[in-house]
Structure 1
Amino acid sequence: MVRFSNNLVGILNFITFLLSIPILIGGVWLSRQGTSECERFLDKPVIALGVFLMIVSLAGLIGACCRVTWLLWVYLLVMFLLIVLLFCFTIFAFVVTNKGAGEVVSGRGYKEYRLGDYSGWLQNRVSSEKNWNKIRSCLQDSKVCKSLIDDGSSGAPVPVNEFYNRHLSAIQSGCCKPADSCGFTYVSPTSWTKTNTTAATNPDCNAWNNDQNILCYNCQSCKAGLLDNIKSDWKKVAVLNVVFLVFLIIVYSIGCCAFRNNREDNSWKRYP
């Protein structure tokens, strides 16, 4: 009789195998249908994840249900390494997202962001010109700034007071408008008139351009806004990782029981 732990490992890995199929199909779809580099950015990682889950789940399924001990051993080894890597990544994610937050601006509904407030590791990711050119291209393709104009009623410019009271996202605040310290005159959410009172201490003031393809995409505040968005997403991922870690540890423990069952059965067959 197949023992309970072997059955449970088999069922869990069968479910994982089924989940790997749409993941793999999604990665292939991204690689073929993506019209820009940004849309194809995740195709290879998604395909790799789908193939990885498919192979590992097959190893666990066959190893547990067909009593192939060496396959189950490989499955447990991969699971152990995955648990260690996920644990390290979770700790790392909490550490690098510990610093940095938006600065409240008096009389404004939005916050402003400074690159120096974030961890050095995150700053280095956006300081590279090569990396930032790709990121900037993706931000432009997403039309995140154009949405500020589209929100206006009847196509008329958004009144200045209404704009100042808006709750902008970190990326919109950092990339789509100049810093309040620049003292520019408001025309529309993405159009501002430069004045002679430009704050020389803030390099973002000189980087601002009313061209819809430039705006503040080259500003330090834009990089900071992106990092704040990443920080928020990573914190959510880190919390989910903790839950996933607990699940993996439970599955690993059940797998160890199934591995022990296989060894005992093999020993019984070898020495009747």
Structure 2
Amino acid sequence: MAGFEVRGVSKVYGGATPTETLSNIDLTIEDGEFLSILGPSGCGKSTLLEILAGLQLPTSGEVWFGGAKLKGPGIERGVVFQDPSLYPWRSVAKNVQLGLEMRGVAKSEQREGAQRYLDLVGLKGFENKYPHHLSGGMKQRAGLARALANGPEVLLMDEPFGAVDYLTRLQLQDDLLRIWEAEKKTVVFVTHDVSEAVFLGDRVVLLSPRPGRINRIFQVPKERPRKRDDAELLKIQNDIYAAIHEVKSPESLEFTI
């Protein structure tokens, strides 16, 4: 089982003036679900994702994953950041193989695993290229392939398409859904783009401005494949914008259409 139970999670960063980033988050993420987390800049959505990854610990509360209390990172949870951080001296295939290599997997299995996921993300033929040969979108595909090659049960994605152009972003969204349908993994996807959150997700969790609290959770019952101009999806987007405008803070308006 690859679901999460988030129970009363808060996060406070210390210092001379302590800053509360998250406040009392209660959330269930189902096995196999595609969950979008939406919120303005600084609301703690990336912090929440890092807590799910085990890269940070909550100040209070706890996270359970697969029936066990989460205590740190694990290979069953793959993380994809906005910056894919590929090693420039390694080929694309060698970058994708990195996690398998570190785990001591046989070289033949490393190559087979890398090839499978490079094919899946649309990078067949680029195995021996280096990161500087790739476009921004292709680098993100390589980063996704690297995360998938480790065989995680969950993909935790932190605004992975935020640095690419609009048309590339739309294509990457379509590709991600195709991969999700093929792999049946749990996906938690952080974004500040309302249309992206609705198009991708089974549910959309809307966080309030800092400290991040769950403002509302929106169900997206539309079957896939989806069309971006579908009236039902557009209505959900409008409902989210209405909820955002109910929060009387300039930060709450830092969203994209």
Structure with the higher fraction of residues in helix conformation: 1
Give the TM-score normalised by the residue count of structure 1. 0.22
Question: TM-score scaled to structure 2, two decimals?
Answer: 0.23
Q: Is the strand fraction higher in 1 or 2?
A: 2
Task: Give the structure with higher Rg (CA).
Answer: 1
With CA pairs under 8 Å and 6+ residues apart, which has the higher RCO, 1 or 2?
2
